[in-house]
Amino acid sequence: MILVFGHTGQVASELRAMAPVTALARDAADLADPAACAAAIHAHRPSVVINAAAYTAVDRAETEEGLATTINGDAPGAMAQACAELGIPFVHISTDYVFPGDGTAPWCPGDPVAPLGAYGRSKLAGEEAVRAAGGVHAILRTSWVVSAHGNNFVKTMLRLGAEREGLTIVADQIGGPTPARAIAVACLVVADQLAADPAKTGTYHFSGAPDTSWADFARAIFAEAGLTCAVEDIPSSAYPTPAKRPLNSRLDCSTTEAQFGISRPDWRAGLRDILYDLGHKGPTQ
């Protein structure tokens, strides 16, 4: 049995749709109570655990760092410890926000980490706790997650693009939009291979290709959806937020492909799938 932490989030929703998993909502396992998360694992006795739940309010984390760290740091650590005690694999989703976001080269799994804000620090705490538990695990860092579920950039652009003639979008943040469905598939593949070969324990990267800017991603969304909203490029400095965003979110995913045979997903194909799932009429429909 595959036990998933998370129920309505983007990746958890995709996991529930594609595999016979037991997904725990907040009322069944509140990540603000790490001991309850560990107890849930011991109670269910699964064959593998996937943590697809997290505190993801990047800006709010600046004023709620304690809560973010409990959910993103302490809870995954408790999960990993429980999995280590039971001798089962643990797959944990992390983020490019653990890096400082400078330069232009894609980040490799072993590159030095230096989060820019509270959210990144909380996710880094989770990574460190998972490793410290000493069990069989894979930390899967990803970026710019999008889907037909929850709140994300694609759904925001579809709403705003239908309401307005033009938008200003930051163009100096570069990364790989990643369909949640592809992340869910990757988690299942990684979990299966970890069970067969525990030596694959480690930290990996998984993001969509090709790398792009938020502004160009918005243009692609509007083009695919048949929206005429114009996009004006602006620098991040023109759109200040409480939490500083990394300018470079590129991830080197070559180790993931070499170890697990998983290639970077084409976000353009993923975007078409998302629009289809949302029932959005594109330019040729």
Q: Is residue 222 part of a domain?
A: no
Q: Residue 184 has what pLDDT? A: 98
Residues 200-254: tens digit of each pLDDT: 999 999 999 999 999 999 999 999 999 999 999 999 999 999 999 999 999 999 9
Full-model pTM: 0.96
Q: Are strands 48-51 and 90-95 parallel, antiparallel or unpaired?
A: parallel
Is the per-residue pLDDT at 282 higher than 70? no
Q: Is residue 191 part of a domain?
A: yes
Q: Are strands 248-249 and 2-5 parallel, antiparallel or unpaired?
A: unpaired
Q: Is residue 221 part of a domain?
A: no
CATH number of the domain where residue 201 is located: 3.40.50.720
Q: Is residue 21 part of a domain?
A: yes
The sign of the CA dihedral 234, 144, 281, 263 is positive
Provide the token pair at 146.
Answer: 């999008």
Confidence of residue 12 (pLDDT cuts 50, 70, 90): very high
- Containing structural domain, residue 37: 2-151+176-209+249-266
Is the per-residue pLDDT at 285 higher than 90? no
Number of structural domains the chain divides into = 1
Question: What mean pLDDT, rounded, does the chain reach?
Answer: 96
Residues 78, 93: Cα–Cα separation, whole Å: 15
Q: How far is C-alpha 36 from the geometric centre of its chain's CA atoms?
A: 23
Active site (catalytic) residues? 119
Per the DSSP assignment, residues forming a β-bridge with 142 are 95
